[in-house]
């Protein structure tokens, strides 16, 4: 661990205003919240984990509540960027939805501790945590899925169905994959398995198959 930066003359040390200090504090907070839970974690433990003096945390985030909100906000921004990449890419609806699932699943696998912290805060007691719009994740995902599905139906690639039903099926697959990553005893699901399940969904949505059945 790096040596603690100590403020000079009661002010912030130069190192505490460095953007790298902010990133170190975020990583440390995720580790402490993941290990102990948000309510039980202390500012002291976070700054000790980061190797930075306590005033730096107050400078960058204002409080323990502020650093949790910053973690969740950054997670939401990364989630939105991943979905945007999938929505804007070229290809068939099948390819774009598969890419969307790949983006989301890869992001979750890369940031499992952050996802665990978010889940613990969302499902835990609300009296001790700052307010955060967790519905933002669902709205963003449903919007991205809905756009691709609707365009696939409009092009004739997908047969007509309730868009929310198709979205629910795909979200369900992603949630199961995420749960397997988060659980202490679960076995992570490989991307190949995720694609096979998506193929089953698309077999049922195929416009060509529906025409053959008729």
Residue 104 burial (CB < 10 Å; 0-12/13-18/19+)? Answer: buried
Options 1.10.10.10, 1.10.357.10, 3.40.50.1100, 3.30.43.10; CATH for 72-213 is 1.10.357.10
CATH 1.10.357.10 boundaries in the chain? 72-213
136 confidence band (pLDDT: 50, 70, 90): very high
Biggest CA-to-CA distance, the chain: 81
pLDDT of 16 > 60? The answer is no
Taking CA atoms, 117 is separated from 106, 129, 175, in Å, by 17, 12, 16
Could you tell me where the DSSP H helices lie in 111-206? 112-123, 135-155, 163-182, 191-205
pLDDT of 7 > 50? The answer is no
Taking CA atoms, 51 is separated from 63, 69, 191, in Å, by 17, 21, 37
Residue range 14-62, CATH number = 1.10.10.60
Instruction: Give the per-residue pLDDT at 119.
Output: 92
CATH 1.10.10.60 boundaries in the chain? 14-62
Neighbours of 114 (CB within 10 A): 21
pTM listed for this prediction: 0.82
């Amino acid at each position: 661990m790096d040596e603690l930066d100590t403020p000079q003359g009661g002010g912030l040390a130069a190192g505490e205003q460095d953007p790298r200090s902010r990133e170190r504090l975020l990583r440390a907070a995720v580790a402490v919240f993941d290990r102990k839970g948000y309510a039980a974690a202390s500012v002291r433990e976070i700054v000790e984990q980061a190797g930075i003096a306590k005033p730096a945390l107050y400078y960058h985030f204002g409080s323990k509540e502020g650093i949790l909100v910053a973690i969740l906000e950054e997670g939401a921004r990364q989630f939105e960027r991943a979905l945007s990449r999938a929505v804007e890419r070229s290809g068939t609806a099948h390819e774009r939805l598969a890419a969307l699932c790949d983006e989301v699943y890869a992001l979750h696998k890369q940031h499992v501790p952050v996802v665990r912290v978010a889940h613990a805060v969302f499902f835990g007691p609300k009296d001790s945590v700052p307010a955060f719009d967790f519905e933002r994740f669902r709205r963003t995902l449903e919007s991205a899925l809905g756009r691709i599905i609707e365009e696939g139906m409009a092009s004739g690639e997908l047969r007509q169905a309730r868009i929310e039903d198709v979205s629910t099926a795909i979200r369900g697959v992603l949630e199961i994959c995420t749960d397997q990553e988060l659980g202490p005893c679960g076995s992570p699901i490989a991307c190949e398995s995720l694609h096979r399940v998506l193929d089953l969904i698309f077999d049922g949505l195929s416009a060509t198959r529906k025409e053959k059945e008729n």
